[in-house]
Structure 1
């Protein structure tokens, strides 16, 4: 057993019994490298990473390879989900060196932590056009012994280049930036299969949500088509878990059929929200069904007893990718009645030949990934005999060996799921989603926030690692969405406190925008400032929207000024690569629209108040804030609600734009009229 046995990270614990003398990231390893004059081998991954498992089996569990590593290197393991800051620095280095990146990330460093060589997965011998890992170890060791000056220069040159901050500012952002983004998406949209670009295909939830906003303000039918066609094809495909709900990480093909089977909390939060927004737009019951099944999956399989949401489920079970999810027709016939089997075969397009092979060859094993026939209706899954068949299959599947579950609780990802659950409660009227969001928020605020600093990760009673700007921004967003669901003002108060601390830790007073990390870790080579949306939106993108919402609530100009400075800080980059930052463009859409401040004065127990709130939540109104002034509460702490009272002893709705209010209304029928206004623009 090595030093990783003392860690809490599920990923590090997976490697605790390797013969490699692994160290966690920290001074003990760094000092050993300096004292023994050895280069560092840094391996970064995460617990549900398929190729991380493969490299472990092939190399890190190999006694001879481990002996070579231990003799010539100081070996460090990092969980990228615990330390995204470390991962970002060295991923950037490897991408600069090789033109590509991914996990496992394999990087060689000087004892001063300067990267000089790297890659991703290395096989045990030369294959796939990659050198064998033992050969890499031997060559790096030779370079360190015989060409030290060259190696040190490589590392220093990279660090010098990396520390040179890019000026990403430019001309002010406007609706023209939204037009450019639309054109980019239009150019790579797959009209037949949905999605953007070819295989592999990723969900790109933020792109879908942005297109819904563009459609709302321009009326452009193709913007809506790009969003809904993608949502439809994903929901039909194997990337969606038709029995258990929820989405897998990505599709290996252009048809969304064969996924990489891991399930990530953040994907399911972002996708659930995208489907809910689409349902607000066109009321297609399929969108509500997918969102409901996805959130129910999280409640069933990804929620801790204390209320926090777990991180991920592995792609593999019993060492085979996808084994938990696939079916042969022989298995189906054994479980189902003939009528049920025939319905499943037609609806989910199974065959005796199958459509999947875990080894990546032809589907000769007869294994089927369930995927919907496009000619069938989504609603059929809720009626006999298909409903009973699906229930039987889910019960049988639950008795299989499940994929490994990473049960650490990450602040940022929990913030995203709190937001999704709150939105689900608003749009679908399901109180269990609000309860789950509230319980998760309470858990995070109790265990990860001490009133001054937020921690990133919780597991087995331990809160650890300084939170990043993503953790603060995503949690603030979740708390604001939760406030707009149950109107408990403590969520608003906590959001304000977190925003204040985020500004203190991360804000760049000189150029604007937020750094990803604070200044507390001297081992980090630089402080990055990100606006690119990857698997999750950038912290700056979500922070921009938070600032605009807080300005609307508080009437405090400094929030709006910060948002404008943030837009300016990244305007050059975003103008050139508008498609790369769809979440920031959603904040821009808010800023350039006639965004609404809505106050409903009345008791939350009044049926008419409840009906008005339902009416508001059913509409797609992304550029709004909403607060309740409840006369039964002695203090309304939100400045927006000041002096807004119920008139004539009736629930009263105030709708304002730029803090200029329209005439108050009282009737549910009047709500539609006062909410309908938007600032339109044209795409052509």
Structure 2
């Protein structure tokens, strides 16, 4: 029976904005948990698990079309136990049932709707369904469950067997010695470059996601090989993304992906995890090339995140919705008439700069602002002084931002996730590392202390935080990404607290997540709720795989602490991944970054003395990707600082390779000379 329109279901007690969106649906929704699963077993009913997230456009559409309708809800409530899952809060549940859907030969995506037997075993699923299609499916499944129960259970058991297959077997991973070669490293590039879109950047085909680790690896490949094809594609991609509609030309920050090949039409939701990683990418790209566009993207994106995603406590919220006023992208787009009323005589130049037309390039005659050429070229073509144009652009941005303040804003998903905060924390630390802007460091430290105080007890993490509570145990992604962020925070502060925090969490993961049989980490803590399958995340996606992040972390921590166990595990993980990595680098680029670190000699740069922070800032402003940076103004117990002291009170730099140190030097310039820093300083022609 459909619920009362004004009566909430059991989601009303949840903190997830996505679940709360469904709290007044007439569907008798439960959150994922034992209460719902017990009811299914007691009443011998099949289960609907419907998975989505707050910024998901088609999740909203299916809710409005089906889940808000009493007649549809009545069918669901009569025949099923209905469970709603926020995939961002429960990535483990999402991973299990997304894998099941793909095992059924179906295309994955969200909303993800999967049908289970009372033992939580999947037997059918799909993504978005139109209302009548959904009702027909519900009726057919209810009938099949009644009449063909045995067949459905047999099918479900087969899917569970598939879900529990060994990762080594599934991906064809083999135990190998870690043999590294320049030939394989170059083959990685060749295989990745076969997918390059040489006109618009990124990888073909559309839709296009930013995939930051692909381009972080390209930066390292170019640094190592000086292959101009890698630099050209990196620049093409980063510039086209920054010029495109996927980048918010007025307010800064990136949308989740572009539906077209040209980066023009985004899916307008803005996710914290994208923006954190893209700050890292553009900051590193600036370091390597000194391209001013990359500087501007970093500063504008951090400004957006601080303005629109930072909580008063110092945590970062998860996302902004794509929709407002019932339309996707309405908040960010303008008609030509709106712009003419606002900008008056300057509108024609504005429209030329941002490619505005009367017909619009998006829905309802609206325009997505985007660029095609550099300010230098635009100024020349329009007979303007560059400084005059840049002042006008800044003035336009301020006026349009003011207009936005009176618009209905996209919904904010204000839950705070540990793993996503860690990505933003690392982005801020990377931006400080490159630019030396103290505000970036202040934001990073504020966020790091928030995470320590609210999502970490001992070495144990929580995944989420909302309304003063952390309710979900941390997943491997939380540990892996926070370890990486804390390592970076040590490198930009030389405060050893962060390095020891990282080591403590690494030891916790080895004790509670590591599978000694396969040599990889499970996604769930062994102490956490046990699902029908305990998965390992191997393939890099928009967020790199938690196993590849851990392998990189253990490599770095092994060097800092001279800990052979960490290094051995990291090398064994990479050895098993190597053959697959070379074949499929676009899905394994964070593993490729580790390959680079293992292939090339790592520089251990130890700075000791009263001006260690200032010396670090000078050295870190240059691009040296395979460098371990450490230092102290006094004494340290770190193995790589053992026996290293400031000579005669002067700040001293030791440049070492494999613990063999060259003669100490006393200036950043001398240290950089010993590092043989390759700095490109390339100024690129306008596209």
Q: TM-score, normalised by structure 2?
A: 0.93
Is contact 2:267–2:322 with CA below 8 Å preserved after alignment?
A: yes
2:681 is aligned to: none
Match of 1:530 among 537, 555, 558: 537
Tell me the secondary structure at the aligned position of residue 384 of structure 1: helix
Aligned ranges 1:88-167 → 2 under 5 Å: 88-125=95-132, 132-167=133-168
Confirm or deny that 1:580 pairs with 2:580.
no
Confirm or deny that 1:55 pairs with 2:54.
no
Tell me the secondary structure at the aligned position of residue 464 of structure 2: strand
Tell me the secondary structure at the aligned position of residue 501 of structure 1: helix
Could you say if the C-alpha distance between residues 419 and 382 of structure 1 is closer, same or farther in structure 2, counting changes exceeding 3 Å? farther
Could you report, residue by residue, the CA deviation over 1:251-294 in whole angstroms, capped at 9, with x for unpaired residues? Answer: 11111111000001111111111111111111111111111111
Confirm or deny that 1:354 pairs with 2:360.
yes
Is contact 1:210–1:586 with CA below 8 Å preserved after alignment?
A: yes
Confirm or deny that 1:555 pairs with 2:562.
yes
Could you report, residue by residue, the CA deviation over 1:5-58 in whole angstroms, capped at 9, with x for unpaired residues? Answer: 011111111100000000111111111111111100000011111000000000
Q: Give 1:163 shift.
A: 1.3
Q: Give 1:380 shift.
A: 6.4
Aligned ranges 1:148-547 → 2 under 5 Å: 148-167=149-168, 168-171=173-176, 172=178, 174-175=180-181, 176-339=183-346, 341-357=347-363, 365-374=364-373, 376-377=375-376, 383-547=390-554
Aligned ranges 1:66-81 → 2 under 5 Å: 66-81=73-88
1:360 is aligned to: none
1:664 is aligned to: 664
1:129 is aligned to: none
Is contact 1:211–1:223 with CA below 8 Å preserved after alignment?
A: yes
Tell me the secondary structure at the aligned position of residue 463 of structure 2: strand
Distance 2:413 2:298 in 1: 23
Distance 1:203 1:449 in 2: 30
1:612 is aligned to: 615
Is contact 1:302–1:311 with CA below 8 Å preserved after alignment?
A: yes
Is contact 2:512–2:527 with CA below 8 Å preserved after alignment?
A: no
Is contact 1:426–1:485 with CA below 8 Å preserved after alignment?
A: yes
Match of 2:578 among 544, 547, 571: 571
Q: Give 1:625 shift.
A: 1.6
Q: Give 1:375 shift.
A: 5.3
Which residues of structure 1 form unaligned runs of 5+? 126-131, 358-364, 679-684
Is contact 2:245–2:369 with CA below 8 Å preserved after alignment?
A: yes
Confirm or deny that 1:43 pairs with 2:50.
yes
Could you report, residue by residue, the CA deviation over 1:98-149 in whole angstroms, capped at 9, with x for unpaired residues? Answer: 3310000000000001100000011113xxxxxx100110110111011111
Which residues of structure 2 form unaligned runs of 5+? 1-7, 379-385, 679-687
| Stretch of structure 1 that moved more, 259-268 or 492-501 | 492-501
1:653 is aligned to: 653
Could you say if the C-alpha distance between residues 500 and 55 of structure 1 is closer, same or farther in structure 2, counting changes exceeding 3 Å? same
Distance 1:467 1:572 in 2: 31
Q: Give 1:578 shift.
A: 2.8
Is contact 2:604–2:655 with CA below 8 Å preserved after alignment?
A: yes
Q: Give 1:381 shift.
A: 9.2
2:40 is aligned to: 33
Distance 1:314 1:122 in 2: 21
Confirm or deny that 1:64 pairs with 2:87.
no
Distance 1:374 1:645 in 2: 51
Distance 2:428 2:434 in 1: 10
1:627 is aligned to: 630
Could you report, residue by residue, the CA deviation over 1:567-609 in whole angstroms, capped at 9, with x for unpaired residues? Answer: 1343343244233110111112111111111111122xx4xx4
Is contact 1:454–1:467 with CA below 8 Å preserved after alignment?
A: yes
Is contact 1:210–1:583 with CA below 8 Å preserved after alignment?
A: yes
Q: Give 1:637 shift.
A: 3.4
Distance 1:552 1:329 in 2: 57
Could you say if the C-alpha distance between residues 530 and 637 of structure 1 is closer, same or farther in structure 2, counting changes exceeding 3 Å? same
Tell me the secondary structure at the aligned position of residue 654 of structure 2: strand
RMSD, aligned CA: 1.6
Tell me the secondary structure at the aligned position of residue 297 of structure 2: helix
Q: Give 1:347 shift.
A: 1.1
Could you say if the C-alpha distance between residues 158 and 55 of structure 1 is closer, same or farther in structure 2, counting changes exceeding 3 Å? same
Is contact 1:169–1:573 with CA below 8 Å preserved after alignment?
A: no
Could you report, residue by residue, the CA deviation over 1:616-645 in whole angstroms, capped at 9, with x for unpaired residues? Answer: 2121112122111213xxx42322212211
1:681 is aligned to: none
Could you say if the C-alpha distance between residues 500 and 372 of structure 1 is closer, same or farther in structure 2, counting changes exceeding 3 Å? same
Distance 2:35 2:406 in 1: 44
Distance 1:310 1:380 in 2: 36
Is contact 1:349–1:371 with CA below 8 Å preserved after alignment?
A: yes
Tell me the secondary structure at the aligned position of residue 511 of structure 1: coil
Moved segments of 4+, more than 4 Å: 378-382
Distance 2:185 2:129 in 1: 41
| Stretch of structure 1 that moved more, 187-196 or 174-183 | 174-183
Distance 1:155 1:380 in 2: 66
Could you report, residue by residue, the CA deviation over 1:482-529 in whole angstroms, capped at 9, with x for unpaired residues? Answer: 111122221112111111111111111122121111223454112112
Q: Give 1:173 shift.
A: 5.4
| Stretch of structure 1 that moved more, 197-206 or 54-63 | 197-206
Could you say if the C-alpha distance between residues 473 and 523 of structure 1 is closer, same or farther in structure 2, counting changes exceeding 3 Å? closer
Is contact 1:615–1:668 with CA below 8 Å preserved after alignment?
A: yes
Q: Give 1:376 shift.
A: 3.8
Is contact 1:611–1:668 with CA below 8 Å preserved after alignment?
A: no
Q: Give 1:541 shift.
A: 1.1
Question: For this pair of structures, how many residues does the alignment match?
Answer: 657
Q: Give 1:333 shift.
A: 1.6
Q: Give 1:162 shift.
A: 1.7
Tell me the secondary structure at the aligned position of residue 256 of structure 1: coil
Distance 1:370 1:590 in 2: 39
Distance 2:535 2:112 in 1: 19
Tell me the secondary structure at the aligned position of residue 365 of structure 2: coil
Is contact 1:484–1:627 with CA below 8 Å preserved after alignment?
A: yes
